[in-house]
Structure 1
C-alpha cells in the first residue's frame, strides 16, 4: 500500500474541496457525524462533537467507490457566487482539520487515488462531449484567445462603471474561448471529465474522443496553490470590478482580483494542467498573488488540461457512454 507524506496530507486538507473529500469518505460511517456538523453550524461550541465523531471512526479504508463518490460530491459542492455553506465553515475549524488527518492519509494511500498527483498523460487524453452535442474543437486558438481577452477587458470596463457590483462571471478559466479541454483516460475507459465538472448538469450521456497531443507539447503543471498564484503573477489580467461581488461572497476577501491572461500563456505553453490535488487544495480559496492582489481557481475541473495550440486534435470516432445506476457503461448500440 502507498503511504502519504505529511506535505501531501496537508495539501489535501488545505482547501475546502479537499476537506469535503475527506469528510464524505468518513461521514456516512459515523452516524453522529452529520448531525454534529449541523449542530456546530448553529453553535460553534458544538465543534468538539464533530471532532469526537471523527475520532470515533477509527481506521478508515476507503474503497474506490467511496473515493469516487466523495470526489464527485466535492466537485458538485462548488459555489463561487455565494458564501461557503455551513459544512464548509465547520470543516475549516483547525480542530476538525486535525481530526481529518487520518482520513486524508487513508484517502491518499488508496490505490484509486494514485493518479491524483500525476502530470498530464499526453498519450491518453480524452475530450468529453455531453448529451450528444458536437465536440468542442480548439481551432484558431490564438484568434479565439484574442477575442476572449477583449471580452474580459470589455466586461471589466463595463462592470467598473456600475454603482454597485453585480453577480456575473465567476470563473478564472478561458471557458468561453472554445479551447480543447481534456482529462486522462482511466483504466476502465472512462475519464474524469465525465463527472468531475464544476457547475455541471449531471449528464447521463457523454461521448469520449481520443485526442492526439503532439510530441514535445509544452504543458505547465499546476500541482498546488503556489503554482496557481505563480501562473497569475506571471500572466496577470485584472478582473476586480467584474469578479469582486462573487468572489467576495465565496471567500470573504475584499480587494483587487486577477485571473490568468490565457492569451499571454499561449505564447509560452501549449497547455496547462491542474492535478486533482492542486484542485482540492486551491479551488474556491482566495490565493494571494502579490501587492494586494489575489486570485481564485474557479471553473477549472480536477485533472483538466486546457490546450492553447491548434495541433491538439481529435484522432478517433467518439465512443458513447450512458450512466446506469451511477455507473458509466459503453453504449454498445452505437
Structure 2
C-alpha cells in the first residue's frame, strides 16, 4: 500500500469509514448537507435492495393512492451530495465513532449491503479520496498504521450487571488443540483463532480501549470489564500490515477448508478454494497475531490471494485487535467496569464509554 489513504480506499470498511466521517455521528443536529446525503442514500439503497418492501395505502376511490414512485438517485447524484458535505474535524472521537459504525456494518457472512456496493462504484472514488486523505493527514489516525502498542487492554463484554468477578483465562493450548482436532475451522464465517482465545487492543486517550468500540455485529452492550494486560517484552508478534503479511501466514501454516465457504463467496465474490492460517501451528512460532487498523480497513471482506486457485479472508477480526496464542497472558491490575449509556438498554455508537 502506497499510503494510508490508499489503504482506506482499498476496502469496503475503509470506504465506509469515509462516509461515516462525512455524514455520521456528531454532537448537535446534523447539517442540511448531511441530511440530504442520507436521504439520497436511503432511496438509493431502497431502489437497489432485493429485500426492502414498501407498503402503501391504496383507496378504492379512483385517483386516491399513496403509491407514488420513489426516487431512484443515480450514483453521480449521491457522489455530488457527498462532495457537498464538509467532513467534520478528524479527531480521536470523530474517528472512533466513524470506525465503530463502519465495523458494526460489516457482514462477511453474506452479500455486501447496498451502501458498500454504492461506495465501490467509480463516480464515488474522487469524493471518497478527499475524505481519506483528510483522515490520513490527521494525528488522530496515526495509530492505524502502527504495530501493536506496548500497553494492551482486555475487554470483556457481559450481559450480567456485576462484572467485578475476575475469571481465569482458559488454556489457549487446549482451545487450539480442540479447534484443530475437531476440524472447527470449516463451516464458520470467521477466520479468527477459536473462542475463548483472548484478544487485546490499545487504548486511546479519553476514549478507552479500541476493543470497546470496534465490534463486528455488535449486540449493543452497555457494560464491559476492562483490565490492563501483562505483555512480555519478548512476545513474538506477527504483524498483519497488508495482504502479503496475511497471505504469508496462510502459506506457512495452511489450513485448507473442506467447505466451499459460501458466506465468503457472497461477501467477496471469490469462486475458488479458501485457506486460513492453522492457528495451532502458528502458535509454535508466534505468541500473538496483530492486525493493524489500516490492514483491516483495506482487507476485511476482500479475497486475499494466497496461491493459484486459493484465497483467504479477514473476517470478524476487528482493527488493532491482537489474538494471543499463548497461556502467558495475564492482567496487571483488577478489572474496572466501563459503561456506555443507552436508551431502553440499546447503546448507540455516538455515546461515550467511561469508567463506572
Shared topology, TM-score over 0.5? Answer: yes
Unaligned stretches of 5+ residues in structure 1: 157-167
Instruction: Look up the match of 1:230.
Output: 248
> How far does residue 6 in structure 1 lie from its aligned partner after superposition?
5.6
Write the mapping of 1:1-334 to structure 2, written as runs, cut at 5 A.
7-27=3-23, 29=31, 30=33, 31-41=35-45, 42=47, 46-57=74-85, 61-122=89-150, 124-131=151-158, 132=162, 138-152=169-183, 156=186, 168-176=187-195, 178-188=196-206, 190-241=208-259, 244-324=261-341, 326-331=351-356
Conserved? CA contact 2:250–2:277, under 8 Å: yes
Point out the structure with the larger helix share: 1
For residue 266 of structure 1, give the secondary structure of its aligned residue in structure 2.
Answer: helix
> How far does residue 45 in structure 1 lie from its aligned partner after superposition?
7.8
Unaligned stretches of 5+ residues in structure 2: 25-30, 49-71, 343-350
In structure 2, C-alpha distance between the alignment counterparts of 1:199 and 1:233, rounded to whole Å: 29
For residue 145 of structure 1, give the secondary structure of its aligned residue in structure 2.
Answer: helix
Conserved? CA contact 2:92–2:204, under 8 Å: no
Structure 1 vs Structure 2 CA RMSD:
2.3
> How far does residue 171 in structure 1 lie from its aligned partner after superposition?
0.3
In structure 1, C-alpha distance between the alignment counterparts of 2:125 and 2:258, rounded to whole Å: 31
> How far does residue 12 in structure 1 lie from its aligned partner after superposition?
0.7
In structure 2, C-alpha distance between the alignment counterparts of 1:111 and 1:137, rounded to whole Å: 37
For residue 204 of structure 2, give the secondary structure of its aligned residue in structure 1.
Answer: coil
In structure 2, C-alpha distance between the alignment counterparts of 1:290 and 1:136, rounded to whole Å: 41
> How far does residue 98 in structure 1 lie from its aligned partner after superposition?
2.4
In structure 2, C-alpha distance between the alignment counterparts of 1:197 and 1:281, rounded to whole Å: 17
For residue 340 of structure 2, give the secondary structure of its aligned residue in structure 1.
Answer: strand
> How far does residue 8 in structure 1 lie from its aligned partner after superposition?
1.6
In structure 1, C-alpha distance between the alignment counterparts of 2:78 and 2:148, rounded to whole Å: 37
Conserved? CA contact 1:195–1:202, under 8 Å: no
> How far does residue 7 in structure 1 lie from its aligned partner after superposition?
2.1
Conserved? CA contact 2:4–2:145, under 8 Å: no
For residue 267 of structure 1, give the secondary structure of its aligned residue in structure 2.
Answer: helix
> How far does residue 257 in structure 1 lie from its aligned partner after superposition?
0.7
